[in-house]
């Protein structure tokens, strides 16, 4: 399924083994990792298309449980620590397709628990005639065409992986001689100004991916920041994400170039955008002074990225805390069937 601007196979939890090591071997084989082209599996040779979703029926007031797995084309690790808001957008459509939940009317809202970080959200999809609708007029930058809207309202995102919203205890730190804001409001991120990294912020992802000096500097900064954020050694992890920010160039709130964590994102991740938007609203963060933030307790934060922009609807309390964040994504069922796992994986 495509979820937002990501893509990957969705599995019923009941169709995978409980043993995590065996499960991970199956997922690696299904995707064709490790191999830069993922030629022997379903992977798309890019971090955004090397993702897996595992979905199960929930209990109590939780309708569905979602476990996200990030794989890398040329890596042999299955990372279930971070969230993915793009793949999250396809969880409810998948559940409706598989009969885990039933449509409630013209629209249907379900509560989803992301097991990676115990994050709750309410997801609303279009279900005219009791069937999931994929066609519609909603466009999102980074995905072609238009589709039916998927509204995601996040209920608790602060400190998704880290100990809290500001894991270092500071809004701004100096690490490796660079001013950074280390923040986790759905995704652990390290934000810094593009100019402090010798960039303008207007470079294309291709240009940044070929800038070996920049990538080396970013990785040194990432590993040092990880320790300050209480994440330990993250050399083999897909987080924290790194993001260079600059003044908006197209009428938005902030301009971004994000790395996930070693490849420049052609757009921006859902929870990355929520986290960036939160930093924009915080005085004294690295975004302060360059972000064009609307007034009021309810505001739309437009996060510019290489292929367009991503708008987050944020609601804040009088103390400046984010109380909720909502956004629109789209999703689509691409195929259904069986993926063949080599016999050697089960031996």
Mean pLDDT check: name the lowest of 116-120, 132-136, 313-317, 338-342. Answer: 313-317
Residues 68 and 190 in one domain: no
Neighbours of 62 (CB within 10 A): 13
220 occurs within a structural domain:
yes
Distances (CA, A) of 330 to 249, 313, 338: 25, 16, 24
112 occurs within a structural domain:
yes
Query: How confident is the model over 218-233, as a mean pLDDT?
Result: 98
The per-residue pLDDT for 80 is 96
Q: Containing domain of residue 56, as a range? A: 2-149+331-346
C-alpha 241/C-alpha 41 separation (Å) is: 26
The per-residue pLDDT for 56 is 98
pLDDT at 108 over 80: yes
Residues 300 and 181 in one domain: yes
Q: Which residues of 185-200 are buried (b: 16+ CB within 10 A; e: fewer)?
A: bbbbbbbbbbeebebe
Domain count, the chain: 2
pLDDT at 323 over 80: yes
Structure letter (DSSP) for residue 322: E
The per-residue pLDDT for 209 is 97
In this prediction, what percent of the chain has a pLDDT beyond 90? 92
C-alpha 242/C-alpha 182 separation (Å) is: 10
pLDDT tens-digit readout, 132-188: 999 999 999 989 999 999 999 998 888 999 999 999 999 999 999 999 999 999 999
Residues 144 and 225 in one domain: no
pLDDT at 320 over 80: no
- Of 183, 170, 93, 167, the residue nearest 132 (C-alpha): 93
C-alpha 223/C-alpha 232 separation (Å) is: 8
319 occurs within a structural domain:
no
C-alpha 7/C-alpha 177 separation (Å) is: 37
Query: How confident is the model over 263-277, as a mean pLDDT?
Result: 94
DSSP E strand stretches across 31-149: 51-57, 64-70, 107-114, 119-126
- The percent helix, strand, coil of the chain (3-state, each to 5) is 20, 30, 50
Query: How confident is the model over 222-242, as a mean pLDDT?
Result: 96
DSSP E strand stretches across the chain: 2-3, 6-7, 10-12, 51-57, 64-70, 107-114, 119-126, 150-154, 173-175, 178-184, 188-193, 241-246, 254-259, 298-305, 308-316, 322-329, 331-332
160 occurs within a structural domain:
no
DSSP annotation string for 142-211: TS-S-B--EEEEES--BTSSSSSSSTTS-SSEEETTEEEEEEEBSSEEEEEEGGGGT--S---HHHHHT-
Query: How confident is the model over 219-240, as a mean pLDDT?
Result: 96
318 occurs within a structural domain:
no
Query: How confident is the model over 254-275, as a mean pLDDT?
Result: 95
257 occurs within a structural domain:
yes
Residues 201 and 337 in one domain: no
Q: CB-based burial of residue 336 (10 Å sphere; 0-12 exposed, 13-18 middle, 19+ buried)?
A: exposed
Residues 308 and 338 in one domain: no
Neighbours of 202 (CB within 10 A): 12
Residues 308 and 335 in one domain: no
Question: 52 near 265, Cβ under 8 Å?
Answer: no
247 occurs within a structural domain:
yes
Structure letter (DSSP) for residue 293: P
Query: How confident is the model over 209-238, as a mean pLDDT?
Result: 97
Residues 203 and 293 in one domain: yes
C-alpha 304/C-alpha 309 separation (Å) is: 4
Query: How confident is the model over 253-280, as a mean pLDDT?
Result: 95
Residues 211 and 104 in one domain: no
The per-residue pLDDT for 114 is 97
C-alpha 193/C-alpha 290 separation (Å) is: 9
pLDDT tens-digit readout, 86-99: 999 999 999 999 99
pLDDT tens-digit readout, 185-212: 999 999 999 999 999 999 999 999 999 9
Q: How confident is the model at residue 294 (pLDDT cuts 50, 70, 90)?
A: very high
**Average pLDDT score, the chain:** 96
157 occurs within a structural domain:
no
Residues 105 and 192 in one domain: no
User: Cα 131 to the chain's mean position, in Å?
Assistant: 27
Q: How confident is the model at residue 109 (pLDDT cuts 50, 70, 90)?
A: very high
pLDDT at 324 over 90: no
Residues 28 and 141 in one domain: yes
Residues 143 and 214 in one domain: no
8: CATH: 3.10.310.10
The per-residue pLDDT for 157 is 87
C-alpha 222/C-alpha 10 separation (Å) is: 30
Residues 177 and 144 in one domain: no
pLDDT tens-digit readout, 33-73: 999 999 999 999 999 999 999 999 999 999 999 999 999 99
User: Cα 135 to the chain's mean position, in Å?
Assistant: 23
The per-residue pLDDT for 327 is 93
pTM of the model: 0.82
Q: What is the dihedral of CA 273, 123, 148, 141, to 10 degrees?
A: 10
């Amino acid at each position: 399924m495509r979820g937002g601007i990501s893509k990957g196979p969705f599995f019923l939890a009941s169709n995978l083994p409980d043993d995590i090591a065996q499960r991970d071997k199956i997922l690696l084989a299904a995707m064709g990792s490790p191999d830069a082209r993922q030629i022997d599996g379903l992977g798309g040779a890019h971090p955004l298309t090397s993702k897996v979703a595992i979905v199960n029926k929930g209990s109590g007031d939780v309708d569905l449980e979602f476990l996200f797995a990030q794989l890398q084309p040329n890596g042999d690790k299955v990372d279930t620590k971070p969230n993915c808001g793009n793949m999250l957008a396809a969880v409810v459509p998948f559940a409706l397709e598989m009969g885990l939940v039933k449509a409630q009317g013209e629209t249907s809202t379900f509560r989803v628990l992301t097991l990676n970080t115990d994050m709750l959200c309410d997801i609303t999809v279009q279900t005219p005639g009791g069937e999931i609708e994929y066609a519609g007029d909603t466009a999102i930058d980074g995905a072609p065409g238009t589709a039916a809207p998927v509204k995601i309202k996040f209920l608790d995102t602060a400190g998704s992986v880290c100990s809290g919203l500001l894991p270092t205890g500071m809004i701004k730190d100096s690490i490796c001689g660079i001013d950074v804001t280390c923040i986790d409001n759905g995704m652990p991120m390290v934000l810094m100004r593009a100019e402090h990294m010798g960039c303008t912020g207007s470079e294309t992802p291709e240009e940044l991916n070929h800038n070996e000096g920049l990538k080396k500097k970013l990785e040194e900064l990432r590993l040092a920041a990880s320790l300050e954020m209480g994440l330990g050694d993250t050399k083999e992890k897909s987080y924290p994400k790194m993001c260079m920010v600059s003044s908006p160039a197209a009428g938005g709130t902030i301009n971004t170039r994000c790395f996930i964590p070693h490849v420049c994102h052609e757009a921006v991740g859902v929870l990355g955008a929520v986290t960036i938007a939160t930093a924009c609203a915080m005085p004294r963060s690295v975004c302060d002074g360059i972000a064009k933030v609307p007034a009021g307790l309810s505001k739309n934060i437009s996060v510019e990225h290489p292929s367009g922009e991503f708008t987050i609807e944020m609601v804040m309390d009088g103390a400046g805390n984010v109380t909720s964040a909502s956004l629109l994504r789209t999703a689509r069922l691409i195929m259904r069937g069986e993926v063949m796992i080599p016999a050697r994986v089960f031996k």
